[in-house]
Homo-oligomer: A and B are copies of this chain.
Amino acid sequence: MRLRAGLLFASDSRTNAGVDHIATFRKMNIFEVPGERLVTLLNAGNLATTQSVVSLLRQRASGGGRHLLNLPSMYDVAELVGRTVKEVVARDSDGGGQLNQGVDFGANFIVGGQIRGEAPRLFHVYPQGNFIEATEDTPYLQIGESKYGKPIIDRVIDFDSSLTEATKCALISFDSTIRSNLSVGLPLDMLLYRTDSFAPARPHRVTAEDPYFNRLRQGWGGGLKRVFEQLPDDDWFLPDQIGG
């Protein structure tokens, strides 16, 4: 989410190659120069592709030339991530046809952060390497299993929401998704960034044993049930109207 107050990044850590091959991998990667820039990548899709993209970006960031730690704008950063995705997909799918056995090499990235001289910016980089940017009208972007958790974000978040509200909304959005879909799972990686702070990143990991997260889930689940029980009825579905 890119709000007036700052940026919120949230990612789960479940990967799967079929339901009998489930593993935990961090999907959040941070590149930073405290005082000057923070760049955060979230990824979804083919794990071989996302790991290669991040490895190449990190390896090159310690060399010469243009890289994530010296590019002059977040736009250039998004463009570099897109170019690297295309490079890896082209390399891994080279050979094509039979050899690829119908594997989808694609990956999506959320790329966000702030570079001194610019406001915070947030992008969604597609498997094709092109990208879109979040705006005040649409202040959040999702990748991966995004549908289950979208309605609650649509209901409570806008550009003027606080980072505290954004964090709680992201946590209950993930909770709904985790309950409904096996391919999303704990732990969650969370990172908050306040606009113009350029402070060192302090990511926070939320595990299944996290007492606060469990209190939040119970508060939300219980609250939903209370609201549901208090909803009004209409005549047409009262018991005496349904087949006597």
Copy total for this chain: 2
Q: Which of A202-244 contact B (CB under 8 A)?
A: 202, 204, 212, 215-216, 219-221, 223-228, 230-234, 236-239, 241-244
Report chain B residues within 8 Å CB of A154: 179-180
Given the interface contacts A155-B179, A179-B154, does A238 sit within 8 Å of B148 by beta carbon?
no
Chain B minimum-CB-distance residue to A228: B156
Contact with B along A148-180 (1 / 0, CB 8 A): 111110111000001111011100100011011
Given the interface contacts A193-B242, A244-B199, does A227 sit within 8 Å of B231 by beta carbon?
no
Interface size on A, residues (CB 8 A): 58
Chain B minimum-CB-distance residue to A170: B237
Complex contact B164–A237 (CB within 8 A): yes
Report chain B residues within 8 Å CB of A197: 242-244
Q: Measured between alpha carbons, how far is A71 from B77 in the docked complex, in Å?
A: 64
With both chains docked as a complex, state the minimum distance between the C-beta of A150 and any C-beta of chain B, in angstroms.
5
Chain B minimum-CB-distance residue to A152: B224
Complex contact A227–B236 (CB within 8 A): no
Report chain B residues within 8 Å CB of A198: 243
A-B contact pairs, 30 of them (CB 8 A): A6-B243, A147-B148, A147-B181, A148-B151, A149-B151, A151-B176, A151-B177, A151-B180, A154-B180, A155-B221, A163-B242, A164-B238, A168-B228, A168-B233, A169-B228, A190-B237, A192-B242, A193-B243, A194-B243, A197-B242, A198-B243, A199-B243, A212-B234, A215-B232, A216-B232, A216-B234, A219-B227, A220-B228, A223-B223, A227-B227
